[in-house]
């Protein structure tokens, strides 16, 4: 990035480059294999059968990539040498939560039943109207990363 213009202004006469959609999300976890197995079991993600070295730090760790072929959601789980091995905490700088969209409000009820069957604690489906209508089901992964399944009507 160059420092030719203040961060809050766009270059004169230019349009913002295009975004093509969401590609993937990656999180650092305490145990990549345990977390990968959990995401496969709970969310039905499929592991891509290769480990990925870190882009600029190939010797410092690796990532495992999981895919939901139906939605195109890609999730990376990363191991870093020297990782502090502490549970995630959204009150620290970094990840607050990951939210996955579901097509219908009724899907949230089905997800709650699915999580119950797996013995995974959750807060139940919450329907909100303020500041806009939405419904959400909140639970946590083995590293305490907050996960949400969300539906926004219409």
Residues 69-116: tens digit of each pLDDT:
999 999 999 887 776 777 778 777 778 899 999 999 999 999 999 999
pLDDT at residue number 56: 60
In the predicted model, what is the mean pLDDT of residues 27-48? 94
Of 10-19, 89-98, 119-128, the range with the lowest mean pLDDT is 10-19
Using pLDDT thresholds of 50, 70 and 90, give the confidence band for residue 12: confident
The residue ranking higher by pLDDT, 125 or 59, is 125
Copy the structure tokens of residue 127: 């329907």
pLDDT at residue number 8: 63
**SS3 annotation, 61-80:** EEEEEEEECCCCEEEEEEEE
Copy the structure tokens of residue 38: 């959990």
* Predicted TM-score of the model (pTM): 0.81
Q: Which residue has the tokens 């789980």?
A: 77
> How many Cα atoms within 13 Å fall on the side-chain side of residue 147?
24
Using pLDDT thresholds of 50, 70 and 90, give the confidence band for residue 20: confident
Please tell me whether the peptide bond between 24 and the residue prior to it is cis, using omega within 30 degrees of 0.
no
Cα angle 133, 144, 45 (rounded to 5 degrees) comes to: 75
pLDDT at residue number 89: 81
């Amino acid at each position: 990035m160059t420092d030719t213009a203040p961060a809050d202004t766009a270059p004169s006469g230019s349009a913002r480059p295009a975004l093509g959609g969401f590609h993937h999300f990656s999180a650092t976890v305490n145990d990549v294999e345990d977390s990968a197995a959990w995401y496969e079991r709970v969310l039905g993600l499929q592991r891509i059968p290769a480990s990925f070295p870190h882009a600029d730090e190939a010797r410092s760790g690796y990532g495992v990539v999981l895919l939901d072929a139906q939605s195109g959601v890609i999730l990376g789980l990363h191991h870093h040498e020297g990782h502090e091995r502490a549970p995630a905490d959204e009150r620290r700088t970094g990840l607050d939560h990951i939210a996955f969209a579901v097509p219908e409000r009724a899907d949230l009820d089905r997800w709650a039943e699915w999580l119950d069957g797996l013995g995974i604690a959750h807060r139940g489906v919450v329907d909100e109207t303020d500041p806009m209508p939405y419904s959400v089901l909140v639970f946590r992964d083995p590293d305490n990363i907050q996960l949400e399944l969300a539906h926004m009507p219409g």
